[in-house]
Amino acid sequence: MTAKSYPPAPSKRVFSGIQPTGNLTLGNYLGAIRNWAPLQRDYECLYCIVDLHAITLFQEPAALHDATRQVAAALIACGIDPDEHVLFNQSLNPDHAELAWYFNCVARMGWLSRMTQFKEKAGKDRERASAGLFVYPNLMAADILAYRAGHVPVGEDQKQHLELANDIGEKFNHDWAVPGFFPEIEPLILGEATRVMSLRDGTKKMSKSDPSDMSRINLTDDADAIAQKIRKAKTDPKPLPESAEGFEDRPEARNLVTIYAALTERTTAQVLGEVGGAGFGDFKKKLADAAVAHLSPITSEMNRLLADPAEIDRTLFKGGDKARAMSAPVVASVRDILGFVHPG
Ligand code: AMP
Ligand code: TRP
């Protein structure tokens, strides 16, 4: 076979994904989604609802179906523009699964065994975890690299997966002697609140899957629910510190101040300048007001969109068509690189 050359990877392409499992939380919002809309100004963006990733843990079909539409509505309500950019659910583009298979053959067992998310999600009984949960990061690498995207906005918890995706891209480029075919992925970990913690335990990540609803603020919570959850959020007896050093051994205080800073678009230091020395009672009122002011327009727009599910589906299908058209030439090149006999 003669060595072929491939067009360079697009330099301004963003890809990110979010799982349609349970309710979206304030953590998803501040850590990821909020940063997605502004990127649309300077980049060509693909935002994907990753239903194939969701089923690495069992999902009730009806709940998965509803959650997919709910996430789509949330993303549109947060300013994602499905006409100018690409919004779709992952299973609409089979190229992700095909490329993930190739990456199953590139990634090493040792690399995957080190993933902290696998260890957390598999729990003590790893023998019973699905094989899909183990190779989850390969599918994530495929999501991004099917479009040769170089920029990925995520929360802090996804950094390790993106490092693995880079290891896969590099090994592929090296083993098949196609330097630069897959671009290096730059993680975009943006904003003040890259890791929002549980309201009940400041050492645990705020998560859609936490059994306690009081541990998180959902994007669908109404003003009363938000105020109640913040009022009951775990704190400690001391007043708020004057500076960030005072957060030592006070994860709950740090978390609430970080959330407030992110919601009001200030730094933690600026917030402590305002509230340092105050008790939690007054601060929690301010925080609840800021959260309600910020989230209630999003929630009402989401509810308006969800009243017409057929329109949401049409939007996703259009996104799926655009996505397939973008990944098709990349996956065709990969088949070519691997030496498969195919029509080109
Ligand atoms: P997931 O809910 O796991 O699909 O995550 C979707 C996006 O939200 C990813 O970019 C995560 O990094 C981000 N994310 C999820 N939970 C949090 C959290 N507690 N704090 C900050 N970012 C988060
Ligand atoms: N694994 C990510 C999460 O749980 C979701 C995801 C899947 C993703 N594919 C992606 C994020 C590609 C960024 C890029 O949060």
Q: What is the pLDDT of residue 108?
A: 98
Q: What is the pLDDT of residue 1?
A: 52
Q: Active site includes 285?
A: no
Pocket of ligand 2 (CB under 6 A): 15-19, 50, 53, 140, 143-144, 152, 154, 158, 161
Q: How many CB atoms lie within 10 A of CB 108?
A: 12
Contact call for residues 202 and 19 (beta carbons, < 8 A): no
- Ligand 1: which of 15, 18, 25, 28 to mutate, most ligand atoms within 8 Å of CB? 28
Kindly report the protein residue whose alpha carbon is nearest to atom 8 of ligand 1: 28
Could you tell me the residue ranges of all domains in the chain? 13-193+308-338, 213-304
Q: How many angstroms is it from 164 CA to the middle of ligand 2? A: 12
Strands across the sheet with 86-89, in order? 86-89, 44-49, 13-18, 151-153, 186-188
**Residue with token string 């989230």:** 295
Q: In this model, does residue 48 exceed pLDDT 70?
A: yes
pLDDT digits (tens, 9 = 90+) for 220-229: 999 999 999 9
Q: What ligand 2 atom has the least distance to the C-alpha of 137?
A: 1
pLDDT digits (tens, 9 = 90+) for 227-248: 999 999 999 999 999 999 999 9
DSSP-derived 3-state class of residue 154:
coil
Length of the chain: 344
For residue 146, the 8-state DSSP code is T
Cα-Cα end-to-end distance for the chain: 14
Q: Active site includes 171?
A: no
pLDDT digits (tens, 9 = 90+) for 58-80: 999 999 999 999 999 999 999 99
Set 4, 12, 119, 121: catalytic member: 121
Tell me the CATH architecture of domain 213-304.
Answer: Orthogonal Bundle (1.10)
Phi and psi, residue 237, nearest 5°: -75, -10
* Cα 205 to Cα 121: distance, rounded to the nearest angstrom: 13
Set 119, 171, 208, 286: catalytic member: 208
- pLDDT tier at 50, thresholds 50, 70, 90: very high
Q: What is the pLDDT of residue 193?
A: 87
- Phi-psi sector, 149: left (phi>0), alpha (psi -120 to 50), beta: beta
The CATH number of 13-193+308-338 is 3.40.50.620
- Listed in order, strand segments (DSSP E) in 29-130 are 44-49, 86-89
Average pLDDT along the chain: 95
Pocket of ligand 1 (CB under 6 A): 18-19, 27-28, 31-32, 154-155, 157-158, 194-196, 205-206, 208
Q: How many angstroms is it from 343 CA to the middle of ligand 1? A: 40
Q: In this model, does residue 191 exceed pLDDT 90?
A: no
**Ligand nearest to C-alpha 21:** 1
Cα–Cα separations (whole angstroms), residue 49 to 83, 87, 218, 277, 308: 16, 8, 18, 43, 18
- pLDDT tier at 3, thresholds 50, 70, 90: low
Whole-model pTM: value is 0.94
- Ligand 2: which of 51, 87, 143 to mutate, most ligand atoms within 8 Å of CB? 143
Contact call for residues 13 and 147 (beta carbons, < 8 A): yes
Q: What percent of the chain has pLDDT over 90?
A: 93
- Phi-psi sector, 60: left (phi>0), alpha (psi -120 to 50), beta: beta
Element holding 17 (H helix, E strand): strand 13-18
- What's the mean pLDDT in 118-125? 92
Residues 6+ apart with CB under 8 A from 25: 196, 206, 207, 208, 216, 217, 218, 219
Q: Active site includes 12?
A: no
Half-sphere exposure of 231 toward its Cβ, with a 13 Å CA cutoff?
8
Q: In this model, does residue 344 exceed pLDDT 90?
A: no
